[in-house]
Structures are given as C-alpha cells and as structure tokens.
Copies of this chain bind each other. A is one copy, B any other.
C-alpha cells in the first residue's frame, strides 16, 4: 500500500505511521518529497488491520497496489476457465445460449417454450421457481413444484437447466433439480448464500448487482471460489443509472474488463439489462462481438399472459431470427455454440 501523508503531517505523525506499519508486519519505504512524504507499506494487503492505515493521523490517502481478489485473478490462472453445465461447456470459445421464461408457470407452458428455443439453438434452459420480487404482493414463484417441472422439461429436451436460489436454506433442494444455480443481482452480496453455493460443486451463474462495480462482482465470485467451488460463470445484466428509458444500463465494457482481469467466463443478459424486447437483439449481437461467453435471454410465447416480466420477454420467432445472426457473429469471432 502507498500512504500519502498530508502536507502538514508532523514528524511525530510520520514516525508513528512508520512504527505502526512495522508493528503490523509490513515493511515501510519512505520518500520525502518537496510537498509531501509518501510511505510505501510492503506486505500482505489482505491482512486484517491493513484498511486501518487510512485512519492514521497525518495520512491523507491510501492507495492499495495489489488486486483484492486472488482465486478469480488471471494473475493466478492464465488460461480461461471452462465451466461444464451438464454437457454444455461455457468459456474458452464455447458459447452458452441460455433461454426460457422468467418463471416456470406450468409443465405445458415450459415444454412448449423449451421446444421452441431448443429448435432455435439454445443450449441451456432457464426458468424461475423462487422469484425475488420487489413487492410482497407479486407472484413469488411455484417453489419446489416449479423445480420439478423444470427438471422434467430439461430432461425431455436434453437441455441442462439453471434456476435461481435465494436462500441458503434452499440450496440443497435446488441442487436436487438444477444443473446450475443462479444467484440474482439482489443477492450478489448475500455472502452467506455465496458461501453455501460455494460449498457445493454445482456451477453458479453469478449476476452482477445493480450497484456493483466489476471489482465487487469479482470479489463475490472470490467468495464462492474460496469456499471450494471453482465453477463460476459471471453475468452482466445492467446496473442502475439515471437513464429512464431502459430498466437498467447494460455495461457492455464489463465483458472485456472482466476478461482482462479474470479467467472466469462471463455472459450477458440483455433482457434484464434493458427491460425492452426491441433492444435485446442488438445487445445480444454486441455481446457476442464483445467476446462474451454467451447470452441469457428471456423468451415467452405469450408475454401478455406471463406471470412476471412479460413486457421484457422476446417472442420465439424473434429469438429464432436472432440466433441466426448470433451464429454468424460467433463464426467471425471464432467461437462455437455447443448443442
């Protein structure tokens, strides 16, 4: 860490800083400039107490120099991680095409949509059984019966399935039915839930929180990795902003930003990012061109009867024509869409 001292820091303060740095097991390097003294503290920045440096009298600013994540870092692992979801690889040139309705509503409904998206080229089926809703009066999902339907429909169409888990107490139950956990944006920093899915080996689709930086996202992935589960796929799904014509603001640059720092795969969810079906095709194409490892799209064959998020769902014919475009772009990018 680098400690920049105030211009008026006294000699006693400087000595106290040096003494404390040494006491905490760091090696101090002192540079006395014309206006300010700067002290480097060489050592393990993840130690407890290291953050307290900023509270020392006379210290104006503290700049960390090490990345705060380790297991997620590309410095640790140079090659891209490939996460297997059922038989579908994600990462390393292989694209996840995750599609399905927001919520599981019935066997027939999900079966019909699964057939349509499978035919179009989707390789993983999604559907929520536990739904995080802003209002306690909104539809909260079918629960375990929804999980059963999801599993059956996935098996019928030979598609692995992903579904959200919201509560550490549900992790074992969801693991019985799903091929991949989804951690939603609202739970990205639900650390007990991260530790719980980290205690399994099932792949985790970790969505970026609405106010999370790219670093925060990687730190949340680090929780899962540190708990012992290496199968993490990140998902950019938009963040809150002042723009009021879209539900969130899709931060497309998060894709190369993550890939530069981490070996983990990252996919893009334009459905939740934009909240508008008219913007989804362009954003899905952009994601593939930006080197994302897949896209996650909500598809419903009758949005006006959907139990939740109907207005943002893409209808199957539009999904089918989008997949035609995505295959061409995947080819230009040297990627494949496994089936």
Contact = CB atoms under 8 A, between A and B. Distances in A.
A175 interface: no
A304 B213 contact: no
A248 to B, nearest CB: 9
Contact of A68 (B135, B139, B242): B135
Contact of A40 (B33, B55, B138, B286): B33
Interface in A246-261: 246, 249-253, 255-257, 260
A196 to B, nearest CB: 9
B285 A216 contact: no
A219 interface: yes
Given A167-B192, A239-B241, A311-B54, A63 B4 contact: yes
A336 B187 CA distance: 38
Could you say which interface size class chain A belongs to? 35 or more
A57 to B, nearest CB: 8
A25 B136 CA distance: 21
A308 interface: yes
A247 to B, nearest CB: 10
Interface stretch (A115-123, A199-207, A287-295): A287-295
B210 A55 contact: no
> Which among A138, A187, A240, A303 has the highest number of chain B CB atoms within 10 Å?
A240
Nearest to A186: B189
A51 B2 contact: no
Nearest to A71: B136
Contact of A52 (B20, B245, B303): B303
A187 B168 CA distance: 13
B257 A249 contact: no
A289 B329 contact: yes
A107 interface: no
A92 interface: no
B7 A4 contact: no
A289 B281 CA distance: 10
A166 B190 CA distance: 8
Interface in A310-335: 310-311, 313, 325, 328-329, 332
Interface stretch (A82-90, A142-150, A271-279): A271-279
Contacts of A138: 46, 48, 51
Contacts of A134: 68, 189, 216, 219
Given A249-B241, A253-B250, A311 B136 contact: no
> Which among A29, A68, A191, A308 has the highest number of chain B CB atoms within 10 Å?
A191
10 residue pairs, one from A and one from B, having the closest CB atoms: A211-B211, A289-B289, A54-B311, A55-B303, A286-B286, A256-B282, A167-B192, A186-B189, A210-B211, A52-B310
Interface of A: 2, 4, 7, 20, 29, 31, 33-36, 38, 40, 42, 46, 48-49, 51-57, 61, 63, 65-66, 68-69, 75, 132-139, 166-169, 186-187, 189-192, 209-211, 213-216, 219, 222-223, 226-227, 239-246, 249-253, 255-257, 260, 270, 273-274, 278-279, 281-283, 285-291, 303-311, 313, 325, 328-329, 332
